[in-house]
Structure 1
Amino acid sequence: MLDKLKKKWGIKSNLQAILIMVVFSLAGSSIVWVRRLVFPLMGIHESTPFWIKFFAWLAVFFPTYQIMLLVFGFLLGQFPFFWEKEKKMVRAIGRIFVKKSS
Structure 2
Amino acid sequence: MKKLKERWGIDSNWQLIVIFIVFAITGSTSAKLAGPLTEAIGITDAVGAFIYWTIRILIVFPIYQVLLVFFGWLFGEFHFFWTFEKKMLKRFGLGFLFKD
Unpaired segments ≥5 residues, structure 1: 96-102
Tell me the distance in 2 between the aligned counterparts of 1:83 and 1:14.
20
Q: CA deviation at 1:46?
A: 2.5
Tell me the distance in 2 between the aligned counterparts of 1:39 and 1:59.
10
Q: CA deviation at 1:75?
A: 0.1
Match of 1:38 in 2: 37
The aligned length equals 96
Match of 1:100 in 2: none
Tell me the distance in 2 between the aligned counterparts of 1:28 and 1:83.
16
1:15 aligns with 2:14: yes
- Tell me which amino acid in the other structure corresponds to 2:33: V
Match of 1:27 in 2: 26
Match of 1:99 in 2: none
Match of 2:52 in 1: 53
Tell me the distance in 1 between the aligned counterparts of 2:57 and 2:44.
17
Tell me the distance in 1 between the aligned counterparts of 2:80 and 2:87.
11
1:66 aligns with 2:56: no
Equivalent position SS for 2:43 = coil
Task: Please say if residues 30 and 60 of structure 2, whose CA atoms lie closer than 8 Å, have aligned partners that are also in contact.
Answer: yes
- Tell me which amino acid in the other structure corresponds to 1:80: H
Match of 1:87 in 2: 86
Tell me the distance in 2 between the aligned counterparts of 1:17 and 1:31.
21
Unpaired segments ≥5 residues, structure 2: 95-100
Tell me the distance in 1 between the aligned counterparts of 2:56 and 2:45.
14
Tell me the distance in 1 between the aligned counterparts of 2:6 and 2:17.
14
Structure 1 or 2, whichever has the larger Rg, is: 1
- Tell me which amino acid in the other structure corresponds to 2:80: F
Q: Indicate the RMSD between aligned Cα atoms, in angstroms.
A: 2.2
